Amino acid sequence: MLRKKLRELYNLRSAFVHGGYPIPHPLQNSVIDNSLAEHINKVFDLWCFGTFLLISTLQALILKGAISFEFDERLIVRTIE
């Protein structure tokens, strides 16, 4: 499940960054057309998954003694030796 969700999150990121992200039509109405609601729900679910994964990772690092975090296209963690 984790691998599948990470792949979906990466595919969404790639589509957004490199093009191909399906932009809903402004006149598309979720009451008339369920595809807009489904699209929004899918993106929201992936956003929640990514947020929970990031928070869980930070919590695990704190439990292991991490004393500082830096984000620079990668995560650099310093722990108390």
Tens of pLDDT along 11-51?
A: 888 888 888 877 766 666 656 667 777 778 888 999 999 99
Domain boundaries, the chain: 2-18+33-79
pTM of the predicted model, to two decimals? 0.66
DSSP string, 25-64: PTT--TTT-HHHHHHHHHHHHHHHHHHHHHHHHHHHHHHT
For the record, the structure tokens of 32 come out as 């008339």
CA proximity to 59, closest of 74, 69, 49:
69
Look up residue 6 and give its amino acid. Answer: L
Look up residue 21 and give its amino acid. Answer: Y
Q: What is the pLDDT at residue 81?
A: 73
Q: What is the pLDDT at residue 45?
A: 92
Q: What is the pLDDT at residue 25?
A: 66
